Structure 1
């Protein structure tokens, strides 16, 4: 696979994973470009990771409130009435630092996109090499040797690889973000506490609770995303040539 093919998919598809990444990603790239003429794939990924970390920092309070509302039951004492009530109550009872519970595992989840798109490119490269018997590959060969079904399978497979690699961090984050007891005592003190208790009482399976629902939700979405992206890209390429 040509380096240009790898970089164009990695850069553009990382943007598709979250529109919030666009401005911070662009600023990171511009900063790296001050001392060089062209960015390497490694610097593209570094820019995306930096942008992802910033987005994680900004959106962690939203994830916290979302998690608590999802875990809330009608019988719970002092239930939140909605998003704004939850935000106000958390600030009043626990302070602003509580809004950043689960931030550390959230930062590790930034690697999810990098793993997904790296897996996609490697699988894509393998399929193209297999179908062309290892002959020299150019952009035209890459575009014509795969169809929408291939993109769907590659997209779902790469998403599955990313989920299996990073899902434990989602579990750790969700458990850290649980609402404290009525006495104000949190169930878990930090990420290490979650890891120790989960491993001790639930084993490895405890880190993958809910993964079936996650895969059923995200794998089809990834397939559709890659089908649309690759076909639109190919259409634009052919029109440009004409």
Structure 2
């Protein structure tokens, strides 16, 4: 293996490590809001096994009072596993795609190629992690009102799903998940372009010429860039998240799914709830994901700096 190839593989491992650390930090801090969001998303007004929540604060208070900390952290283990794996794989695939596209372009990528890199990474991650997200969704929807025998944990959930519904059930919601690839593509394209603008702006004001971009940006910059790019992605792609959550619900006792497919979700939601139905739980989603994205990019960029510094010192 050449020195250049070895250096490239090390860079990819550093990106994966930084992404995984970012994903873990996000889930630990924001998981209760994720539970609230999921319950709002599937509550179409016709679900009998979910309590009625007035708003995000009321939902958190109600869950804490009736289900305790376990309720607020329902689905935490698959959430950690899925997020850590997803972000690790995402940054890894994203960086590999960027390197491949940049080979014949002197290292410079257009917004379109940033978009293609993010879309490619998102599609691969969706195929790898959909079963974990399905289990997380189902564990989050288990309440004291649940009529079906609850899953006792992540292992029991996988085992029960395979026994009762078959392997294909692990890929329920994969169609909106693949459409949600556009979420990451929009977010990362916005992040990269805003990052360039910020670096250029700070470079012009800096008294040190040709300064390393890593030294121009700080954690506050990463927080603002992460939150802003995430907001744009959420507003454009949120309906796909609602569709996925509704498709991933556990079937009733007779084994009949509440929604038979993506188009069925689209029709039923429009029929009974209108446009607002596609944005159920968006308040909790914004409260969770704007700061979560800030955390992700703060951790990612700083872990990456640490790994680079360690490598230089070896």
Shift of 1:81: 1.6
Does 1:52 pair with 2:122?
yes
Alignment counterpart, residue 67 of structure 1, candidates 128, 134, 137: 137
Does 1:185 pair with 2:256?
yes
Question: How far apart, CA to CA, are the structure 2 residues paired with 1:34 and 1:232?
Answer: 24
CA shift digits 1:101-146 (9 cap, x unpaired): 000111111222221132234445666788999xxxx965978987
Residue 89 of structure 2 corresponds to 20
SS of residue paired to 2:88: coil
Question: How far apart, CA to CA, are the structure 2 residues paired with 1:117 and 1:102?
Answer: 23
Aligned residues: 226
**Range with bigger deviation, 228-237 or 76-85:** 228-237
Does 1:119 pair with 2:190?
yes
Residue 87 of structure 1 corresponds to 158
Quickly say closer, same or farther: Cα 1:29–1:219, change in 2 above 3 A. Answer: closer
Residue 36 of structure 2 corresponds to none
CA shift digits 1:7-59 (9 cap, x unpaired): xxxxx79x8471123554566567x4699475663445434422321221111
TM-score (norm 2): 0.58
Quickly say closer, same or farther: Cα 1:148–1:60, change in 2 above 3 A. Answer: closer
Question: How far apart, CA to CA, are the structure 1 residues paired with 2:202 and 2:93?
Answer: 39
- Please, which runs of 5 or more residues in structure 1 have no aligned partner? 1-11
Matches within 5 A, 1:26-175: 28=97, 32=100, 36=104, 41=109, 42-74=112-144, 75-123=146-194, 140=211, 148-175=219-246
The Cα RMSD (Å) is 3.9
Residue 265 of structure 2 corresponds to 194
- Please, which runs of 5 or more residues in structure 2 have no aligned partner? 1-14, 24-86
TM-score (norm 1): 0.73
Question: How far apart, CA to CA, are the structure 2 residues paired with 1:44 and 1:60?
Answer: 24
